Amino acid sequence: MKKLLIAAIVSAAFLAGCTDVKDVVISKKEDIEAHSGDLKKLPDEDKKLVLGYFLRAEGNGLFGEKAEYGVTVGEAIKRQKEFIVAQEAEEAAKKEAVEKVQKTYTISYSGFENTEIPGVGEGLNLKLSFTNNSNKGITAISSAIRLVVDGVEGSVTLNMGDEVFKKTLNPGETAEMVFTAAANDLRMAKIKQGNAKVNVSFEKLEVLYSDGKDEKILE
């Protein structure tokens, strides 16, 4: 009897040692630490996926759509892969939408003028050209614009607000808009030098057409 019990214990220990880490269920944060030794044996790519999944479980939306505990490591890897694919598809769709908008409602950088801002000091009047490539007249737009300066990391958002054109902007016509910015950061300093490559695109755009209808193009 004693021999049988010892054999059963040894067999159970052997089976436990052979359990695939992907079959381990993670029900709470503490389980990750408890199985950290096994998790370290995963391929690097799977480690990243597991980390990403359980960051979402802990992050309350900070790292994307909230994930759930109570899944195996293998399921966490599978779900995180699916999440990444969905995120990439969403980003691609957004990029396509922005590119389509840019063709129909074209915004471009056309230069700057030095100015003085009361209480602030040196500033720049950034000149932006808006072209209506739609098939309807446009009376006004409300927008926010993403500005990128070549060679400077990141971007800045220009909250343009409402722009009411002096006259209806018919299809194919262009109007100039001006955004006044303080010349107190690296982007504006580079623009002020006069040789910067500047790219702009709409982040948000709402259009009021000449027929009285308005449309939120980008939100």
Q: Could you report the per-residue pLDDT of 55-90, keeping only the tens digit for each?
A: 999 887 677 788 999 999 999 999 999 999 999 998
- The CATH code that applies to domain 102-218 is 2.60.40
pLDDT in tens, 184-203: 888 988 998 888 899 999 99
**Above 60 in pLDDT, residue 9?**
no
Q: Is 172 left (phi over 0), alpha (psi -120 to 50) or beta?
A: left
Quick one: pLDDT at residue 14? Answer: 39
Residues 6+ apart with CB under 8 A from 162: 140, 141, 142
What are the angstrom distances between the C-alpha of 196 and each of 49, 54, 81, 116, 171? 40, 43, 40, 21, 30
pLDDT in tens, 125-160: 999 999 999 999 999 999 999 999 998 988 999 999
Per-domain residue ranges for the chain? Answer: 2-97, 102-218
pTM over 0.75: no
Mean pLDDT taken over the chain? 87
Residues 6+ apart with CB under 8 A from 63: 52, 55, 56
Quick one: pLDDT at residue 64? Answer: 79
